[in-house]
Amino acid sequence: MATEDNEVEDPRPLVLIHNLPSFKLPLQDRLITHFRLFDSLASPEASSVRALICVGPTPVTADTLDHLPSLRLVVGSSAGLDHVDLAECRRRGIAVTNSGDAYSENVADYAVALLLDVLRRVSAADRFVRSGLWPQMGEYPLGCKLGGKRIGIVGLGSIGSEVAKRLVAFGCTVAYNSRNKKPSVMYPYYANVHDLAVNSDVLIVCCALTNETHHIINKDVLTALGREGVIINVGRGALVDEKELVQFLVQGEIGGAGLDVFENEPKVPKELFALDNVVLSPHLAVLTPESFEALNKVIIANLKAFFSNKPLLSPFQQE
């Protein structure tokens, strides 16, 4: 169709890129082939845009949605969507997707890496050698074997399932907690995290952050896990009561922790810096070139499905 100036109308669907200044969408240039992009809520296009890409943890609030009266789809670029007002989206009839399986293998790899590091003291041993302590102090303290450990997975979704698959290969036994028991899963199910902790040597936290899961790892759960227990968190910082965890670690009431996420990022409790049984990581579990490539494909597939009136590839589902 031509305009009055004999220009051909652009057939590409309009999509809003919604991002904080510090967050950019990887491989965004590939979207331009398929969609017309803009990035301002103040733009004239905001009133008619039907799809939004939410980059990273950029908040999507009721106020955000008020600027977008025609919006019918929020495409998330992360696995968790605690920064999106899901209830308000549901009320307004706005569909929401997340990253689907794009990050699952990468995060699972990282969770296992953190666990191996905590148990075998890899990072601490590296510091021991680099600081010149080996010739002075001799042998480094022993680490622990991974095989045979009882692993409790909090959130057996896409990421949790990949974690389980890897740890079974190491000879670990796996149990899990999720909102509901999964009929197709053979691992033992615990309806509450406290009971899971009682029967685990390690808790790996990879569920979504919601009002119900906030501080799901609390003082009672840490006590149940015990003095030799290990916490690995690759979900969200606020899934763990960070103040309680710090106290348990400082006082030697828990065996160790591998943490990729924190409650007030990028701030990390300074008490953890001197602890060799704690491995710290700056929210890196999802960040690989391969995961960005997979994410780009998921985002494009969700948008194409939406604009073609087909089922979405990765509608958000809480685990």
Catalytic residues: 236, 265, 283
**At a CB cut-off of 8 Å and minimum separation 6, what does 130 contact?**
none
What type of residue is 270? Answer: K
What type of residue is 317? Answer: Q
Exposure pattern of 65-90 as b/e (b: 16+ CB <10 Å)?
A: beebeebebbbbbbbbbbbbbbebbe
CA dist., res. 259 & res. 283, Å (int): 8
- Dihedral, 63, 68, 74, 76 alpha carbons, nearest 10: -60
Q: What is the CA radius of gyration of the chain?
A: 22
CA dist., res. 309 & res. 304, Å (int): 9
Q: Is the dihedral of CA 122, 160, 259, 316 positive or negative?
A: positive
- Residue pointed to by tokens 């009561």: 241
114 neighbors 279 (Cβ within 8 angstroms)? yes
CA dist., res. 319 & res. 314, Å (int): 14
